[in-house]
Amino acid sequence: MSSSQTDDAGGQGPDTPGHSGGTADRGDPRQRRTPILDGLLLYRERDYVPFHMPGHKRGRGAPPRLREALGAALDVDLPLTPGFEDTRQRAGRLGAAEELAAQAWNADRAFFLTNGSSGGLHTLVLALAPPGSVVVAPRNAHVALTDGLILSGAMPIYLEPEIDSEWGVALNVPPQRFRDALATHPEARAVFVSSPSYNGCCAHIEPIVTAAHAAGATVAVDQAWGAHLHFCSALPAGALEQGADAMVTSVHKLTGGVSQASLIAAQGERLDLDRLAAVVAMLRSTSMLVQILASIDATRMQMVTEGEELWQRALELAASARSRLARVPGLRCMDAAVTEHRSVADLDLTRLTVSAADLGWAGYELEWELRERYRIAVESADAIGIVMNVTYADTSETLDRLVAALTAIAAEGPRSGATRADRAALQLTLPPFSRLLMTPRAAFFATTRTVPLRSCVGEVSAEVVTPYPPGVPVLGPGEKISSEIVAFLEDFKRRGLRVHGPHDPGLDTMRVVERPLEDD
């Protein structure tokens, strides 16, 4: 549909889908509509003279080098303003686009977000976990979940994920650990699940949902790395398809949205959709970037109408690359064998996790080599391997270039005389997790003091400490610092590995609680 065929009211009318929660039919003509993108193009076509924000006025006042970098993107840098959105309409273009997204993701409601899935996790925690409530969550949840708990004042019951000993990465939490936690804490109001993991490992969501619902708890899934799962039959099932009550997903990570494009989708009667909508309105900007919203709108249309074919092609490209890399001496690829772990139901095979640790290459070193020598940029690196995203935007040429570069590096032989034994030296054994003595909120807002790391034993942490690998916090706000944790962190420092979260990333000092925030 061209912009000239689109009405000013954002496409409201009898063809707009209701909150049916039905799976979108790729043949449904409504799913070919893009209300927000159409409005953006219509604004540009009509060549309005803006007397509204932003102040650069369609790029004319922007710094010259910024205009050079962003070009036409500045011409359509718009707020939800008259000319784009008919403010007399109850829902307008944004409401129409969110209803189409709810249908596409098989939900009752969908909410577009311009602050990423981090903002979505904050929203879900505040909507589902009021002050003083108890929630069950994986220990390796994204730090945004901890931030949400700090905002809400809820008390988490953390569950340890399985760790893959070969790769040194966190996988998922087995369903039985959720069952046990719910039996021990029948007062739990919500369960949070992270799936897929950063490496594409998918949790057993359906049995977790069954156990949570039987205990009267709602289930919210951080599906940041799984916006595509609902749209291709050869991919693992998505969270809502397995009965979850809500999920947040990043439309920008693996599909066509621009950075920070995310959405929340929710279904069923186990959560208050109006309360969720109120929290969304409270946390998202009143000046949302229409370009981000339009990218969610357009990506939804693309996934419904073309997702099956696009992701089938991506899977074929990834399979070819994985097969070729697995035949290169010294290289290893994570494959479907990871599902032998009791916590892993499936693997998203578009995610490539590769290691040259058998040749003495740490993942960080391999990432640097690819970037500086071969101009190949990967998604992430840790002490053992690298992670790469393969999407429908890739071609046989981009994968050939990656395979050729890794093959050339491996052909150089062991790095500096390194042997297979060096891989073991890269791996870490996490210390026993500590006790939570107060809510994350009480610890975060406490009066604190800074003490040397070796003097922290017995103190209560006021901050999050997450070592990479395996990306699992060893400490969070409100947790007692044990001698085992201090020894682990001192060893971590000696190895020169990375840690996220603390105010002192060198780990010479830590902030500990002196006087906790008094509960209301």
pLDDT exceeds 50 at position 357? yes
Do 41 and 130 lie in a common domain? yes
CATH of the domain at 420: 3.90.1150.10
Average pLDDT over residues 484-513: 86
User: Between the CA atoms of 446, 452, 458 and 462, what dihedral angle is there, to the nearest 10 degrees?
Assistant: 20
Q: Which of 272, 303, 334 is the last residue of a domain?
A: 303
Do 252 and 367 lie in a common domain? no
Least reliable range by pLDDT among 26-30, 94-98, 381-385: 26-30
Q: How far is CA 238 from CA 202, 223, 459, in A?
A: 9, 8, 41
Least reliable range by pLDDT among 29-38, 337-346, 463-472: 463-472
pLDDT at 469: 64
Q: Residue 427 — very low, low, confident or very high, per pLDDT cuts 50/70/90?
A: low
Burial 427-449 (b: 16+ CB within 10 A, else e): bbebbebbebebbbbbbbbbebe
Do 24 and 48 lie in a common domain? yes
Do 187 and 336 lie in a common domain? no
What's the alpha-carbon Rg for the chain, to the nearest Å? 24
Q: Tell me, yes or no, whether 435 lies in a domain.
A: no
Q: How far is CA 221 from CA 105, 203, 441, in A?
A: 14, 10, 22
Cβ partners under 8 Å of residue 176, min gap 6 = none
Q: Which of 285, 303, 321 is the last residue of a domain?
A: 303
pLDDT exceeds 70 at position 420? no
Do 367 and 256 lie in a common domain? no
CATH of the domain at 48: 3.40.640.10
Q: DSSP assignment of 408-428, as one string?
A: HHHHT-SGGG--THHHHHH--
pLDDT at 432: 79
For residues 336 and 88, the model is more confident at 336
Least reliable range by pLDDT among 59-68, 216-225, 410-419: 410-419
Do 414 and 499 lie in a common domain? no
pTM for this entry: 0.87
User: Quick one: 186 exposed, middle or buried, by C-beta within 10 A (0-12, 13-18, 19+)?
Assistant: exposed
312-315 CB contacts, 8 Å cutoff, 24+ apart: 312/232, 312/234, 313/392, 314/350, 314/390, 314/391, 314/392, 314/394, 315/232, 315/234, 315/235, 315/349, 315/350
Do 460 and 377 lie in a common domain? no
Q: Tell me, yes or no, whether 224 lies in a domain.
A: yes
SS (H, E, C) 140-157: CCCHHHHHHHHHHCCEEE
How many structural domains comprise the chain?
3
- Cross-strand bridge partners of residue 134: 155
Do 184 and 113 lie in a common domain? yes
pLDDT at 418: 56
Q: What is the mean pLDDT of the chain?
A: 87
Token pair of 264 as six digits: 């929340």
Do 12 and 146 lie in a common domain? yes
Question: Which residues span the domain enclosing 485?
Answer: 440-515
Q: Which of 424, 452, 470 is the last residue of a domain?
A: 424
pLDDT exceeds 90 at position 207? yes
Token pair of 209 as six digits: 């949902």
Taking phi first (over 0 means left), then psi (-120 to 50 degrees means alpha), and beta for anything else, what does residue 413 get?
Answer: left
Do 329 and 219 lie in a common domain? no
For residues 62 and 338, the model is more confident at 338
Q: Tell me, yes or no, whether 429 lies in a domain.
A: no
pLDDT exceeds 60 at position 471? yes
Q: Tell me, yes or no, whether 186 lies in a domain.
A: yes
Average pLDDT over residues 16-34: 61
For residues 288 and 430, the model is more confident at 288
**C-alpha span between 160 and 171 (Å, rounded):** 10
Q: How far is CA 276 from CA 52, 107, 129, 206, in A?
A: 30, 14, 11, 23
**C-alpha span between 187 and 308 (Å, rounded):** 41
pLDDT at 206: 97
pLDDT at 10: 40
Q: Tell me, yes or no, whether 21 lies in a domain.
A: yes
Q: Tell me, yes or no, whether 320 lies in a domain.
A: yes
CATH of the domain at 454: 3.90.100.10
**C-alpha span between 286 and 175 (Å, rounded):** 39
pLDDT digits (tens, 9 = 90+) for 229-276: 999 999 999 999 999 999 999 999 999 999 999 999 999 789 999 999
Q: Tell me, yes or no, whether 294 lies in a domain.
A: yes
Residue 196 preceded by cis peptide, ω within 30:
yes
Do 462 and 397 lie in a common domain? no
For residues 41 and 388, the model is more confident at 388
pLDDT at 2: 37
Q: Tell me, yes or no, whether 434 lies in a domain.
A: no
Do 190 and 258 lie in a common domain? yes
In the chain the first and final C-alpha atoms are separated, in Å, by 55
Average pLDDT over residues 361-387: 92
